[in-house]
Amino acid sequence: MSTAVKSPWFLLAGVIVAALSLVVAITGPASEVSKSRTEVTSLVAEPVNQDTVTEFALPLDTPLDQLPQTDVGNFCDTGMIEWLRRFGTEVPPYHRISIRSAAEDGAMLVVDNLRAVDVNRYEPQPVMHFQCPDAGNADTAILELRLDRDRTALELVNGSSDNTRPFAFNLEPGEQGNLELWLLNDDTYSYSGRIVADVTTGTAKKTVSLPLNGEDPAKFDRIGLGRYGRLIVSPGQTKDGFRCELYPAGYSRWRPREGDEIEDTFDCSLEKVRSVLAEIGRGP
């Protein structure tokens, strides 16, 4: 009968394998151990590009006759938007923000108490309201925030301003969500500031700034249109033509909303735009 003789190296390898098996049994596979766990710094927030959905406050003497032509009907293409940005101040009707948890494991990340801070109010200059229409939205959490009153955002339920609730967004590890933030004001003044939100996981909490789309993603600049906001100018279907919407005196919102009635909608030339603005300027 022969006797098997085990090498000391064979015995050492057996000990190592047994030790590793014990570690895996206690902590799980190595890939699970290395996963990043949820921290308040796990939030990743990025502005969502909306190059075809935006609005501008333009000086009344902006040379609209030099505005590049578009091949997309009543919508704005990239060349037109670049031109508008050179001559005016971009004030998007809403800000789309993508938020996600960069964690791979661990607790839920809670984003809430979205609000405006460092808000400054100042007198607006006479400006023209130029609109690049919206072709439609994807499903997202829609929030409204009044700059002239309560500066804490509320989430719309079923898209209605008459039915709101406090905003809170829960993100599981790796989960992503989208926000659509509408900044509202009375248009008598212009406003600037920053948008922040609280991020919480477990007992840890942190306040972070949310980046916005527009000229400066670190802040917002909400231009008040005053009486000139009654006229909304947008691209027309023909060369050198525009589409105009005229609202009654007292209208002071950036975009038509439920309950607002248009006084007149018409195709307009640059000369017609100028004459309507001049008439509004002479009004009460």
Greater confidence (212 vs 253) lies with 212
Q: Within 13 Å and on the Cβ side, how many CA atoms surround 170?
A: 4
For 184, phi and psi rounded to 5 degrees?
Answer: -120, 145
* In contact, 77 and 52? CB cutoff 8 Å: yes
Is residue 174 over pLDDT 90? Answer: yes
176-184 and 141-146 strand pairing: parallel
Q: What single letter denotes the amino acid at residue 62?
A: T
For the CA atoms of the chain, what is the radius of gyration?
28
Give the neighbor-by-neighbor strand order of the sheet with 176-184: 43-47, 95-101, 176-184, 141-146, 154-157, 160-166
pLDDT given at position 160: 77
Residue identified by tokens 């309201």 is 129
Rounded CA gap, 57 and 90, in Å? 6
List the one residue out of 190, 193, 204 whose CA is nearest residue 254: 190
pLDDT interval class at 242 (50, 70, 90)? very high
**Residues 22-35: what's their mean pLDDT?**
52
Greater confidence (229 vs 275) lies with 275
pLDDT given at position 60: 93
Mean pLDDT of all residues belonging to the chain: 81
Rounded CA gap, 283 and 196, in Å? 39
pLDDT given at position 223: 86
In tens, the pLDDT along 120-155 reads 999 888 999 999 876 544 458 899 999 988 899 999
